């Protein structure tokens, strides 16, 4: 199960690296850069792993847009809230969000759709390569690959059939 | 104009003036687990300067309420996309072939328009300039290397479409995640709320818009909301290569080194038996598949990206009011640099760099998609309609156009004006918007005259398409007659 969570973890932590990179480029101190990276990267990575866990359990559909959108509607605002808390507390500042809690969460929730779609696209892309590598010893990965290859095989079969018809 | 007959014991569908289409079996629609359809390629191509620059600029100059026009533009484009898909999935033919079935000169108009509008390498220069800002590599060098790289990656691929889809999916994934995170950090709910409510401020039209300076800009921005120019027409070619609907009966374009493996290209498309209930069930499955593609991916992502960039632009002007002046002046490079500088002062140099990075990505992926699409469209029309060309493999014709446009692009970057000669810029802008008005009208004709009754669009869709045609052509004509300017 653990290895199945790798795509979600990589994509989630990648989001943290973008944030940390921004802080580093801004010439902020190293401890702040680490806080910015881990503050967003760890929650997004944990949530990414959670997504893969639900996928493995069959609670959400492989490649489904709606389940991913709902998952990140809850997950993304939580990750951003933790990010702000870690940054403030880690820097020894009093906790102060950019705006009041309700509008802050609402804003992050609306933007979560963007994160969900980007996540899903990359997940389909990266996941495909990873599942192929581990499918020999991982039955869940083999199931995912099977779902895609069955469809690809069906398309190929159709192509073959129509070629004969031409 | 269209009916079913039996010819030499083969059932065919007569559609328009060209060869009749043999009746073949419609394949099953894919299961919904594959979220990635050709709409993703269209989104990747369509999400560009309109969403990241033109509309954020209009919002800063005229307020968020101006965005209702964006909503109209993108909604119309969503309907156009669904109707393009209707023709392509029902016949396996491109919309260019459909145009020829109505009247060949209409198709030749699009052939000539593409040659005039899309051979200029201007679209790669914005991305290359942003690249220079990040890495210091002179833009001319990165632009030329970028052009050659496009030709090489397509030439080496087994199937060109698969590579295009994978590359663009990755780029758009990174772009969407990165932009969302930056907007989540620098924007506020207030910015977003104004941006969203502005979408529904129907009828808002500030007096300043009705001037020779701004009306043409507005027309151009509406035309650039979502896919512009001929991009929607090329979508029919990607659908075919994806094997959507009757496209499964047409061989795919292969990479140059695999081109000799291409199967024989049929001389026309195919039709399925619309009197067979089982076939109609499959057709409904295909319509559902493309509907998800259109509404969720195309409409959703286009709206999302432009909302994110509008919020970013609003945040930038709060940080540095000078950005508004650069935007007002219409200096694209200056405004992009201004927005990057504003982010840099708020979040550090790398935030500005990230912005440049995304603009560079938008520029390169745009060029990648446009060059593929241009070569695809021209190859399709050349193969089917220039006498004697059918003996050449479609993939070879595709690569002749692809490398031709790359070589021309390099020559122009080195010795000429990247966007095209100044004297013809207005003509090119006119043709691009005129093509959009024309294809709306063309779709009304192809989908009502060439398709069997059971799969034709309903009257409301036809009226919307007709209104769309009037909308584009009317705005173009008004701008020309009233202000003497084409589009900005």
pLDDT at residue A42, rounded to an integer: 95
Kindly report the backbone phi and psi dihedral angles of residue A154, in degrees, each rounded to the nearest multiple of 5, phi listed first: -60, -40
- pLDDT tier at A107, thresholds 50, 70, 90: very high
Question: Do A123 and A14 form a contact (C-beta atoms < 8 A)?
Answer: no
From B241, which residue of chain A is nearest by alpha-carbon distance? A159
Q: Nearest by CB to B348, from A11, A28, A151: name it.
A: A28
Q: Closest by alpha carbon to A82, among A114, A38, A126?
A: A38
The least confident of B13-22, B137-146, B254-263 is: B254-263
Among the residue ranges A66-70, B124-128, B344-348, B438-442, the one predicted with the least confidence is: B344-348
Q: Is the dihedral of CA B134, B138, B142, B147 positive or negative?
A: positive
DSSP, residue by residue, B413-477: HHHS-TT--HHHHHHHHHHHHHHHHHHHHHHHHIIIIIS-GGGSPPHHHHHHHHHHHHHHHHHHH
Say whether B15 sits in a helix, a strand or coil. strand
The pLDDT, as a whole number, for residue B33 is 46
Residue appearing with tokens 């520029």: B363
Is a pLDDT exceeding 70 seen at residue A122?
yes
Which residue in A40, A111, A125 is closest to B183 by CB distance? A111
Is residue B246 within 8 A of residue B89, CB to CB? The reply is yes
Mean pLDDT, residues B347-354: 60
CA geometry: angle B396, B399, B405, nearest 5 deg: 145
Output B272 or B187, whichever has higher pLDDT: B272
How close A90 gets to chain B, by Cα (Å)?
17
Q: What are the helix and strand counts (H, E) for chain B?
A: 20, 3
* Res B342: pLDDT: 60
Hey, which residues does B381 pair with through a beta bridge? none
User: Distance between CA atoms of B147 and B101, rounded to whole angstroms?
Assistant: 35
Q: Are B246 and B24 in contact (CB under 8 A)?
A: yes
CA-nearest of B99, B108, B111 to B18 is B99
- Would you state the torsion angle of the CA atoms of residues B7, B11, B15, B20, taken in this order, to the nearest 10 degrees? -50
Select from A11, A15, A22 the residue whose CB has the most chain B CBs within 10 Å, as the one to mutate to test that interface. A22
Q: Which of A26, A98, A148 sits opposite B350 (nearest CB)?
A: A26
Q: Compute the average pLDDT of residues B185-189.
A: 83
HSE-CB for B74 with a 13 A CA cutoff? 29
How many CB atoms neighbour CB B474 within 10 A? 13
pLDDT at residue B360 in the model: 72
State the Cα–Cα distance between residues A110 and A106, nearest whole angstrom. Answer: 6
**Residue B440 pLDDT:** 95
Q: List the single residue in B188, B248, B354 with the smallest CB-CB distance to A107.
A: B188
Q: What is the mean pLDDT of residues B132-160?
A: 81
Per-residue pLDDT, A151: 57
Instruction: Give me the residue label for tokens 């895609």.
Output: A148
* Contact between A103 and B74 (Cβ < 8 Å): no
**What 3-state class would DSSP assign to B3?**
strand
Question: In this structure, what token pair is assigned to residue B339?
Answer: 């927005």
pLDDT at A128 over 90: no
Q: Strand, coil or helix: what is B206?
A: coil
On the question of pLDDT at B183 being above 90, the answer is no
As a whole number of angstroms, the distance between CA B465 and CA A112 comes to: 33
Q: How far is CA B465 from CA B87, B344, B439, B443, in A?
A: 14, 44, 9, 8
Cβ contact B180–A115 (<8 Å): yes
Residue B443 has pLDDT above 80, yes or no: yes
Name which of A18, A107, A117 is nearest B176 (Cβ-Cβ): A117
What is the C-alpha R_g of chain B? 22
Residue among B284, B312, B51 at smallest CA distance from B181: B312
Q: Name the range with the highest mean pLDDT among B11-20, B202-211, B438-447.
A: B438-447
Q: pLDDT tens digits, residue range B375-408?
A: 989 998 999 999 988 888 888 899 999 999 999 9
pLDDT tens digits along B40-66: 777 777 776 677 777 877 887 888 888
List chain A residues with CB under 8 Å of B179.
114
Measured in angstroms, the CA of B441 and the nearest CA of chain A are apart by 33
Q: Which residue of A has its CA nearest to B169?
A: A121
For A135, phi then psi, to 5°, come to: -65, -25
- For residue B309, the model assigns a pLDDT of 78
Alpha carbons B284 and B269: distance in angstroms, whole number: 20
Task: With a cut of 90, say whether residue B417 has pLDDT above it.
Answer: no
The alpha-helical segments, DSSP class H, found in chain A are 6-25, 30-56, 65-90, 101-134, 139-165
Find where tokens 């990359």 sit.
Answer: A122
The verdict on a CB contact (< 8 Å) between A114 and B176 is yes
Residue B114 burial (10 A CB sphere; 0-12, 13-18, 19+) = buried
pLDDT (0 to 100) of residue A17: 87
pLDDT of residue A159: 57
B418 versus B446: the higher-pLDDT residue is B446
pLDDT, residue A33, reads: 83
Digit-coded pLDDT (tens) for A20-45 = 876 776 667 788 888 888 999 999 99
pLDDT of residue A155 exceeding 50, the answer is yes
Any residues with CB less than 8 A from the CB of B136 and at least 6 apart, and which? none
The whole-number pLDDT of residue B182 equals 79
Q: How many Å apart are CA A124 and CA A114, to the nearest integer?
A: 16
Supply the pLDDT for residue B335.
Answer: 63
B27 with A162: Cβ contact below 8 A: yes
B12 in helix, strand or coil? strand
Q: In the predicted model, is pLDDT for residue B327 greater than 80? A: no
What are φ and ψ of residue B271, in 5° steps? -125, 155
Per-residue pLDDT at B487: 64
Q: Give, in degrees to the nearest 5, the angle at Cα B202 between B200 and B207.
A: 125
Lowest mean pLDDT among A73-77, A159-163, B84-88, B116-120: A159-163
Rounded Cα distance, B260 and B238, in Å: 21
Q: Give the list of residues 6+ apart from residue B292 with CB closer than 8 angstroms, or none.
A: A65, B32, B35, B37
Any idea of the CA torsion for B69, B73, B78, B83, to the nearest 10 degrees?
Answer: 140
Give the model's pLDDT for residue B334.
63
Selection from A149-153, B34-38, B79-83 with the highest mean pLDDT: B79-83
The pTM of this model reads 0.82
Cross-chain Cβ contact A25/B353 below 8 Å: yes
Task: Of A114-118, A122-126, B38-42, B87-91, give the lowest mean pLDDT range.
Answer: B38-42
Strands (E) across B8-84 are located at: 10-15, 21-22
CB of B448 within 8 A of CB of B438? no
Min Cα–Cα distance to chain A from B176, Å = 5
| Per-residue pLDDT at B73 exceeds 80 | yes
Q: Do A28 and B192 touch (CB under 8 A)?
A: no
Instruction: Please give the pLDDT value at position A81.
Output: 94
Q: Do B35 and A147 touch (CB under 8 A)?
A: no
């Amino acid at each position: 199960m653990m290895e199945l969570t790798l795509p979600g973890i990589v994509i989630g932590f990648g989001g943290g690296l973008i944030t940390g990179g921004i802080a580093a480029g801004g010439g902020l101190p190293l401890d702040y850069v680490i806080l910015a990276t881990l503050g967003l990267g760890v929650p997004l990575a944990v949530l990414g792993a959670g997504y893969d866990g639900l996928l493995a359990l069959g609670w959400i559909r492989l490649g489904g847009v709606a389940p991913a959108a709902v998952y990140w509607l809850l997950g993304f605002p939580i990750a951003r809230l933790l990010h702000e808390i870690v940054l403030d507390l880690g820097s020894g500042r009093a906790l102060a969000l950019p705006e009041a809690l309700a509008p802050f969460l609402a804003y992050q929730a609306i933007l979560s759709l963007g994160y969900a779609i980007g996540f899903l696209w990359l997940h389909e892309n990266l996941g495909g390569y990873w599942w192929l590598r581990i499918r020999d010893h991982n039955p869940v990965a083999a199931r995912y690959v099977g779902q895609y290859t069955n469809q690809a095989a069906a398309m190929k079969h159709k192509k073959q059939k129509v070629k004969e018809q031409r | 104009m269209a009916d079913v007959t039996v010819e030499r014991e083969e059932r065919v569908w007569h559609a328009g003036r060209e060869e009749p289409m043999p009746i073949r079996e419609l394949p099953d629609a894919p299961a919904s687990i594959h979220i990635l359809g050709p709409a993703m390629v269209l989104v990747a191509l369509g999400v560009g300067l309109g969403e990241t620059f033109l509309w954020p600029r209009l919002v800063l100059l005229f307020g968020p309420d101006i965005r209702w026009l964006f909503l109209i533009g993108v909604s119309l484009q969503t309907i156009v996309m669904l109707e393009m898909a209707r023709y392509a999935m029902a016949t396996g033919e491109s919309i260019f072939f459909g145009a020829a079935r109505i009247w060949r000169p209409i198709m030749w108009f699009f052939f000539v328009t593409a040659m005039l509008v899309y051979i200029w390498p201007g679209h790669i220069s914005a991305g290359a300039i942003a690249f220079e800002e990040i890495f210091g590599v002179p833009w001319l060098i990165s632009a030329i290397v970028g052009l050659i790289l496009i030709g090489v990656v397509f030439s080496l691929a087994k199937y060109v479409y698969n590579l295009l889809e994978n590359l663009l999916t990755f780029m758009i994934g990174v772009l969407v995640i990165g932009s969302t995170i930056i907007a989540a950090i620098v924007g506020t709910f207030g910015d977003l709320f104004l941006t969203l409510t502005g979408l529904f401020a129907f009828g808002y039209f500030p007096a300043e818009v009705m001037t020779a300076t701004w009306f043409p800009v507005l027309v151009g921005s509406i035309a650039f909301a979502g896919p512009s120019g001929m991009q929607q027409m090329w979508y029919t070619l990607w659908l075919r290569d994806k094997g959507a609907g009757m496209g499964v009966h047409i061989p795919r374009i292969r990479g140059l080194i695999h081109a000799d493996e291409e199967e024989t290209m049929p001389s026309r498309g195919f039709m399925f038996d619309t009197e067979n209930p089982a076939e109609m069930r499959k057709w409904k499955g295909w319509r559902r598949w493309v509907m998800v593609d259109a509404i969720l991916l195309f409409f959703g992502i286009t709206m999302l990206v432009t909302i994110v960039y509008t919020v970013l632009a609003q945040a930038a002007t709060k940080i540095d009011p000078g950005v508004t002046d650069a935007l007002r002046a219409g200096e694209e490079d200056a405004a992009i640099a201004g927005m990057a500088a504003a982010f840099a002062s708020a979040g550090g140099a790398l935030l500005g760099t990230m912005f440049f990075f995304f603009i560079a990505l938008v520029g390169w992926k745009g060029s990648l998609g446009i060059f593929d699409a241009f070569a695809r469209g021209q190859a399709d029309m050349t193969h089917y309609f220039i006498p004697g060309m059918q003996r050449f493999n479609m993939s070879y014709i595709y690569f002749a156009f692809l490398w031709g446009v790359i070589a021309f692009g390099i020559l122009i970057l080195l010795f000429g004006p990247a966007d095209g000669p100044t004297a013809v810029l207005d003509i090119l802008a006119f043709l691009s918007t005129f093509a959009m008005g024309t294809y709306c009208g063309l779709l009304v004709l192809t989908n009502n005259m060439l398709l069997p009754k059971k799969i034709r669009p309903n009257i409301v869709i036809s009226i919307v398409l007709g209104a769309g045609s009037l909308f584009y052509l009317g705005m173009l004509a008004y701008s020309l007659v009233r202000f003497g300017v084409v589009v900005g």
